[in-house]
Amino acid sequence: MGLTEKVHEDMVAAMKARDADRLSTLRMMKTALKNKEIDKRAPLTDAEGAQILVTMVKQRRDSIEQFTKGNRLELAEKEAAEIVIIESYMPKAAGEAEIRGMVDAAIAEMAAAGQRPTAKDMGNVMKAVQAKIQAAGLRADGKQVSELVKAALAQS
């Protein structure tokens, strides 16, 4: 079952359970997924759907920051609750140790193919690591991956 179908089924269940908060978040998710599908003019893959959810989580984190600065804690709490619901539909987050292992593996593969990558090759290493993360069915924050790649390249 695809991500869109899962969201729809859970939306129906939330309607039956009269869970208004969960229902509104699921409706928002379904709308975002449907809009992207319409823009693309083809059904979304689960990877594309997951990317949309990542974007939604980032938007909510930015909103929480702004609401906290504006002393609107009730709105920040609402956004935090939405993040929890959205993240339940996303792939498992990779831990720092897992990411570090993938970074080391990508650097080793690149070194085996030719010369050892340097700081100038950071973009290529990032692409390789992101591909490994997606292939493993995980997700990771790009900022965290970038910091780990930078640190690994600085050691070499």
Number of domains in the chain: 2
pLDDT at 115: 76
What's the whole-number mean pLDDT along residues 132-150? 84
Residue 44 sits at φ, ψ, to 5 deg, of -80, 145
pTM for this one? Answer: 0.72
Same domain assignment for residues 7 and 61: yes
Q: How many residues does the chain have?
A: 156
Same domain assignment for residues 124 and 74: no
Same domain assignment for residues 74 and 117: no
Same domain assignment for residues 53 and 127: no
pLDDT at 111: 83
The answer on pLDDT for 156 being more than 70 is no
Same domain assignment for residues 60 and 114: no
**Residue of 48, 57, 47 lying closest to 87 (CA atoms):** 57
Same domain assignment for residues 79 and 7: yes
For the chain, give the secondary structure using H, E and C: CCHHHHHHHHHHHHHHHCCHHHHHHHHHHHHHHHHHHHHHCCCCCHHHHHHHHHHHHHHHHHHHHHHHHCCCHHHHHHHHHHHHHHHCCCCCECCHHHHHHHHHHHHHHHHHHCCCCCHHHHHHHHHHHHHHHHHCCCECCHHHHHHHHHHHHHHC
pLDDT at 95: 84
User: Are 46 and 1 in contact, with CB atoms under 8 Å apart?
Assistant: no
More confident residue, 117 or 8: 8
Per-residue pLDDT reduced to its tens digit, 57-115: 999 999 999 999 999 999 999 999 999 999 999 878 888 888 888 888 888 888 888 77
Last residue of a domain, one of 35, 60, 87: 87
Same domain assignment for residues 40 and 74: yes
pLDDT at 12: 95
Per-residue pLDDT reduced to its tens digit, 5-26: 999 999 999 999 999 999 999 9
Same domain assignment for residues 74 and 116: no
Last residue of a domain, one of 68, 87, 106: 87
Could you tell me the residue range of the domain that residue 68 belongs to?
Answer: 3-87
Q: Judge residue 74's burial from the number of C-beta atoms within 10 Å of its C-beta, 0-12 exposed, 13-18 middle, 19 or more buried.
A: exposed
What's the whole-number mean pLDDT along residues 133-139? 81
pLDDT at 151: 87
pLDDT at 71: 94
Residue 66 CB neighbour total at 10 angstroms: 13
